[in-house]
């Protein structure tokens, strides 16, 4: 009797442990009904993506895509504060300082994952509740459905840390209406709640507290088609009245955004903003003046070229840019100023737009031969 009790205790202990190790996992991958569910599970780090998470999610999406018993894929973030606040920039910075291979592996892995989502044959539903920036945008925006809530906070703030709006930003940003994408990518402007839908980044808007019910209903769908999923999302979306009356935050500025951000060079955009002189233009000028001049020039060209490229070609281009940024000065300086010392006063090199030569920019876009990204 004692023996079997002992054995039971051991089994219970083991179960408890396996449960603990599971919830300590940085990403949870489960199958419920016909749905594959990805939960980004680093709430303390606002679910920022690191390489090991990327390396777990990618093969799982590929497996589910082939599995006849999986009808849809849902991705969400744990902790209630963020869906995913970006890539694990600190780890990349540390690797960069010592010339670690992580610099290639991380961007390669992340962009391959973005492409897997963009080409996924199964309906892909991202529940972008809370902070959704950078890498978090990359694992949501390329999927079929993006459900925003009143807690969603969207931004592509990369130019502030000497990077550029990557993860396929060169594909989706220039495809937003007018020049909104150029404006968002260059200034890092933040969109909140229903505005994320109105800008065309989210496809649906549902109250945050309704998400568990929505998820349950998605899982309960019998062999769901994309249409059935869309119908279910639409029904939740139609019932949601939060901020329904509110005007789109950029509505009154759209004409300005479209004319100011259609200039062919960064210098010209700055000149136009100065000439405009309105409070809105001055505010954007102030934001742009804080950004890395190199990043701004790379970003403008990235978006202009990406506008007519396939997602795959955009990701290849962005991989080249990522490697150029890793070899430069501004990324490390930007991370230092914004994330590490938090003094918010980066010393960019070069410090002025005029000093970033076209030749330098051209070089950043050059193919890397055997080192190019393979998709």
In 3-state terms, what secondary structure has residue 261? coil
Residue of 26, 110, 129, 166 with catalytic role: 166
Instruction: Please give the Cα distance from 188 to 190 (Å, whole number).
Output: 6
Sequence-ordered list of residues with C-beta below 8 angstroms from that of 139, at least 6 positions apart, any chain? 40, 49, 57, 75, 84, 113, 114, 117, 126, 167
Contact 155, 187 (CB under 8 A): no
Instruction: Please give the Cα distance from 265 to 306 (Å, whole number).
Output: 16
Catalytic-residue membership of 158: yes
- Number of Cβ within 10 Å of residue 333's Cβ equals 17
Instruction: Please give the Cα distance from 240 to 170 (Å, whole number).
Output: 32
Contact 33, 219 (CB under 8 A): yes
Residue of 158, 195, 215, 318 with catalytic role: 158
Catalytic-residue membership of 87: yes
- Among residues 181, 135, 131, 169, which one has the least CA distance to residue 153? 131
DSSP 239: H
3-state helix, strand, coil in the chain (%, to 5): 55, 10, 35
Peptide linkage before 350 cis (omega within 30 of 0):
yes
φ, ψ for residue 81 (rounded to 5)? Answer: -100, -35
Catalytic-residue membership of 109: no
Instruction: Please give the Cα distance from 278 to 283 (Å, whole number).
Output: 9
Instruction: Please give the Cα distance from 31 to 306 (Å, whole number).
Output: 35
Contact 19, 12 (CB under 8 A): no
Residue of 36, 86, 135, 328 with catalytic role: 135
Catalytic-residue membership of 188: no
In the numeric block, which tokens belong to residue 277? 């002189």
DSSP letters spanning 163-210: --S-TTHHHHGGGSSTTHHHHHHHH---EETHHHHHTTS-SEE--GGG
Residue of 34, 87, 162, 334 with catalytic role: 87
In the numeric block, which tokens belong to residue 235? 């029904």
Name residue, tokens 């190199």: 294
**Which positions are annotated as active-site residues?**
87, 135, 158, 166
């Amino acid at each position: 009797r004692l023996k079997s009790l002992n054995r039971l205790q051991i089994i219970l202990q083991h179960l408890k442990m396996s449960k603990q190790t599971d919830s300590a996992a940085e990403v949870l991958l489960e199958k419920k009904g016909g749905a594959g569910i990805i939960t980004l599970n680093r709430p303390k780090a606002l679910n920022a993506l690191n390489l090991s998470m990327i390396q777990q999610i990618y093969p799982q999406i590929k497996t589910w895509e082939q599995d006849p018993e999986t009808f849809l894929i849902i991705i969400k973030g744990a902790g209630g504060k963020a869906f995913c606040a970006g890539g694990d920039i600190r780890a990349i910075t540390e690797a960069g300082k010592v010339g670690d291979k992580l610099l290639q592996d991380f961007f390669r892995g992340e962009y391959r994952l973005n492409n897997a989502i963009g080409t996924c044959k199964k309906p892909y539903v991202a529940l972008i509740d809370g902070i959704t920036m950078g890498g978090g945008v990359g694992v949501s925006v390329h999927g079929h459905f993006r459900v925003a809530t009143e807690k969603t906070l969207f931004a592509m703030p990369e130019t502030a840390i000497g990077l550029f709006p990557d993860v396929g930003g060169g594909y989706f940003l220039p495809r937003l209406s007018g020049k909104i994408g150029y404006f968002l990518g260059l200034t890092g402007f933040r969109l909140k709640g229903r505005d994320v839908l109105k800008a065309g980044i989210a496809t649906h808007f549902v109250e945050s507290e309704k998400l568990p019910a929505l998820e349950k209903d998605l899982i309960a769908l019998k062999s769901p088609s994309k249409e059935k999923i869309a119908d279910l999302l639409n029904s939740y979306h139609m019932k949601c009245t939060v901020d329904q009356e509110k005007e789109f935050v950029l509505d009154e500025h759209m004409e300005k955004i479209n004319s100011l951000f259609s200039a062919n060079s960064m210098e010209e955009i700055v000149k136009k903003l100065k000439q405009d002189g309105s409070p809105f233009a001055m505010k954007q000028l102030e934001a742009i003046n804080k950004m890395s001049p190199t990043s701004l020039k790379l970003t403008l060209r990235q978006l202009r070229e990406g506008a007519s490229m396939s997602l795959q070609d955009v990701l290849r281009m962005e991989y080249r840019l990522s490697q150029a940024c890793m070899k430069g000065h501004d990324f490390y300086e930007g991370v230092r100023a914004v994330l590490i010392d938090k003094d918010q006063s980066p010393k960019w090199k070069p410090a002025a737009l005029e000093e970033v030569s076209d030749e330098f920019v051209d070089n950043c876009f050059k193919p890397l031969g055997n080192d190019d990204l393979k998709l």
